Amino acid sequence: MLHRNQGLPPPGNLIQPNGKPHFYKKPFIESFEQAPIYVPVLTYLGYGIGTLFGYLRDFLRDWGIEKCHIATEREEQKDFVPLYQDFENFYKRNLYMRVRDNWNRPICSVPGPQFDLMERVTDDYNWTFRFTGRIIKDVINMGSYNYLGFAEANSQSMKTVREVLEKYGSGVCSTRQEMGNMDKHKELEDLVAQFLDVEAAMVFGMGFATNSMNIPALVGKGCLILSDELNHTSLVLGARLSGATIRTFKHNNMQSLEKLLREAVIYGQPRRRRAWKKILILVEGIYRDHSFFCIICASW
């Protein structure tokens, strides 16, 4: 195991804006298991073999020896912009289709800790599927968007959902510009502001849009964004849309961030050496794609 102590300040200094003690009670230590060298070697070897067989199968398809199931351009449209890029579909055509049955499995129950799975079979190597009519009961749910557990067949939860639907309808998950600003929006924002001990708060209904649409409202040309190298795609997209200069620092590395900050303050913008209008640091509280905690803010 690889251990890395990020050197957080002593517990007495870990106070949140609302005056309550911070979540971290002791110096935070991240531990990572180092993969043996044969793991990446065999992984790349497997990709190489799969790619070679993929080109072989494409050759057989071109000569009509193997039937081609993938969508292709019509002959009368050859002078138009192509809808299907042959090389881009290479992975899907030759690798993904071989293991397609492992994903996109249809279920017929609520996505709780366990759910019911609809059995399906294929007669053409996963290009098409047909249902057998058999239901596989109590399959363990290893991953779901049901983060808060609301999608449960619980009588009390269903009663609450019914009452809310009868009062507000089923379209209130859209934007306020489309559906209007409701009392629940204001109630939630007041609750968040009270929890954070701030004057006001703004709540968005979608995390991706929150990052990608609001970063351009905070910074623009002449500004600098310092972004963690493992930030989510939504943060990366928002930073690019802003038009600001982007520089990345090593994940959860305070020394790397301090070095970039020092250089930004001393040297300013390239060529003209003017001071940056704003410097925005982008990090995540929890890096969900990698299961890492952000410790930059706690160690600031």
Q: How many CB atoms lie within 10 A of CB 239?
A: 24
- What is the pLDDT at residue 241? 94
The pLDDT tens digits of the residues spanning 165-184 come to 888 887 666 777 777 788 88
Question: Are 180 and 168 spatial neighbours (Cβ–Cβ below 8 Å)?
Answer: no
- pLDDT surpasses 70 at 13: no
For the purposes of burial, counting CB atoms within 10 Å of the CB of 24, is it exposed (0-12), middle (13-18) or buried (19 or more)? middle
pLDDT digits (tens, 9 = 90+) for 103-148: 888 999 888 888 899 999 999 888 899 999 999 999 998 877 777 7
CA angle 22, 14, 248 (to 5 degrees): 95
What is the C-alpha separation between 92 and 73, in angstroms, rounded? 17
- Give 229-238 pLDDT, tens digit per residue: 999 999 999 9
Share of the chain above pLDDT 90, in %: 39
Phi, psi of 247 (to 5 degrees): -135, 135
Tokens at 58, concatenated: 């494409």
Q: How far apart are CA 140 and CA 200, in angstroms?
A: 41
CA–CA gap between residue 152 and residue 113 (Å, rounded) = 9
Tell me the average pLDDT across 276-285.
92
pLDDT of residue 28: 60
CA distance 92 to 294: 35
Q: Distances from the Cα of 119 to the Cαs of 37, 139, 197, 214, in angstroms?
A: 38, 12, 51, 43
Global pTM value: 0.61
Domains, the chain, ranges and CATH? 37-102 (no CATH), 105-153 (no CATH), 155-196 (no CATH), 207-297 (3.40.640.10)
Average pLDDT over residues 266-282: 92
